Structure 1
């Protein structure tokens, strides 16, 4: 995976460089102390992963990530814990609190690598018509055109199907999104993914699918603009 690191502190970048050099599947292509220089780089260069600081002088890491239309995977690296919830609303892979150890860094990189492999595996295209969902000890084939919406519910992800049936799985909602074709499904909230063709009506606050009302999170509101 090709990665970059953004942090206004050169010492912090040196730590990321040192750790990344020990991870065989990470190629740290560039480091930046200025987030706007990094933005210019991202517009011209393929990047799979960003190691991103949050507290920076000109723009926060949160605002930086929010400004990118189709961002790469992100691992936040910060000395502050209060932004953890917001970072995961933006689908961050992980949240590393400084100073972080090499084992903790490696754990975050492994999570990113698993998602990278899942996203790039053969057959993960918009032509997929079904997926296999693990339910207990079984793998259940689910046709995509039968899915109404998907909800993160505690330690489980709940899949709502036509005919008022449901299926629960331990697959995270982020991993589910990677398994599904983007032309057919859209994430509208940190806890919800909906089938585009099953939307009966919506406004700026919620979506209706049959009798179900599904919220639109503020972070994901822009994704609904194509329907306006």
Structure 2
């Protein structure tokens, strides 16, 4: 099994270290590196990436803000010189957190964790490879609540929380949209705005600048307009 990886760091030397270490880990294939996080976004949208090595404190946009721009978030290993970001990194379900400078052994340990996560995710795939587990668990306070995917209408970001709007109730979970997308199958859920993810099955109507889920019009952000075409393709309209 191979992990296709991408590295983003505003320091060229830091990227060189990742390149050297990745070359010595046989199951990691580093496909590209970027010093400019904005330039990496189109690449992430167009290519299948399993693992992202990501600096947190960068000019213009932080690594955490970058994740919020993505429809599909790969596994993430944060690589940074700032230990104070560690808690936030793990709140985002990061696979690991590498504090610079780190050794090859520590780098390989983080990569092994990512490989284990990928192998574990494959265990939820049924014999029909297009199917995934029909439910997720959503953390609400100190509890984990089982939620059937078919009941999720849309997700809305509310500050440091995500509101899961279901057919019969709502659940508020302390996480980001980027984190919530990690547990949702991409063929069933589409991010159309910095603050909204819609369930494709519950979309009733598509307008010029929004989509309707029930009686709620969900806005489509300017940077997400291409998602309308993807949505039309999925819905065959």
- TM-score normalised by the shorter chain: which range applies? 0.5 to 0.7
TM-score normalised by the chain length of structure 2: 0.62
1:61 equivalenced with 2:60 (yes/no): no
1:14 equivalenced with 2:16 (yes/no): yes
1:153 equivalenced with 2:152 (yes/no): no
> Match for residue 210 of structure 1?
214
Secondary structure, aligned partner of 1:60 = helix
Instruction: Compute the displacement of 1:135 (Å).
Output: 1.5
TM-score normalised by the chain length of structure 1: 0.64
Once residues 102 and 210 of structure 1 are traced to their aligned partners in structure 2, the CA distance between those partners, rounded to angstroms, is: 51
Contact 1:19 1:102 in 2 (8 A): no
Contact 1:115 1:175 in 2 (8 A): no
Instruction: Compute the displacement of 1:52 (Å).
Output: 3.0
Contact 1:51 1:77 in 2 (8 A): no
Instruction: Compute the displacement of 1:203 (Å).
Output: 2.2
Once residues 160 and 74 of structure 1 are traced to their aligned partners in structure 2, the CA distance between those partners, rounded to angstroms, is: 29
Once residues 151 and 173 of structure 1 are traced to their aligned partners in structure 2, the CA distance between those partners, rounded to angstroms, is: 8
User: Compared with structure 1, are the counterparts of its residues 118 and 153 closer, same or farther at alpha carbon in structure 2 (3 Å cutoff)?
Assistant: farther
Instruction: Compute the displacement of 1:181 (Å).
Output: 2.8
Contact 1:77 1:96 in 2 (8 A): yes
1:113 equivalenced with 2:114 (yes/no): yes
One of 186, 190, 202 as aligned partner of 2:194? 190
Secondary structure, aligned partner of 1:219 = helix
Once the two structures are superposed, the pairs formed by residues 1-228 of structure 1 within 5 Å of their partners are 2-4=3-5, 11-17=13-19, 27-30=27-30, 51-54=33-36, 60-66=39-45, 68-76=46-54, 80-84=58-62, 87-88=66-67, 89-90=69-70, 91=73, 93=76, 101-102=100-101, 113=114, 116-117=117-118, 120-123=121-124, 126-163=131-168, 165-226=169-230, 227=232, 228=237
User: Compared with structure 1, are the counterparts of its residues 202 and 95 closer, same or farther at alpha carbon in structure 2 (3 Å cutoff)?
Assistant: farther
Contact 2:210 2:217 in 1 (8 A): yes
User: Compared with structure 1, are the counterparts of its residues 79 and 199 closer, same or farther at alpha carbon in structure 2 (3 Å cutoff)?
Assistant: closer
Once residues 18 and 70 of structure 1 are traced to their aligned partners in structure 2, the CA distance between those partners, rounded to angstroms, is: 22
Secondary structure, aligned partner of 1:83 = coil
Structure 1, unaligned runs of 5 or more: 31-37, 39-49
Secondary structure, aligned partner of 2:155 = strand
User: Compared with structure 1, are the counterparts of its residues 217 and 72 closer, same or farther at alpha carbon in structure 2 (3 Å cutoff)?
Assistant: farther
Structure 2, unaligned runs of 5 or more: 83-98
Contact 1:52 1:77 in 2 (8 A): no
RMSD: 4.1
> Match for residue 47 of structure 1?
none
Instruction: Compute the displacement of 1:162 (Å).
Output: 1.3
Instruction: Compute the displacement of 1:19 (Å).
Output: 5.6
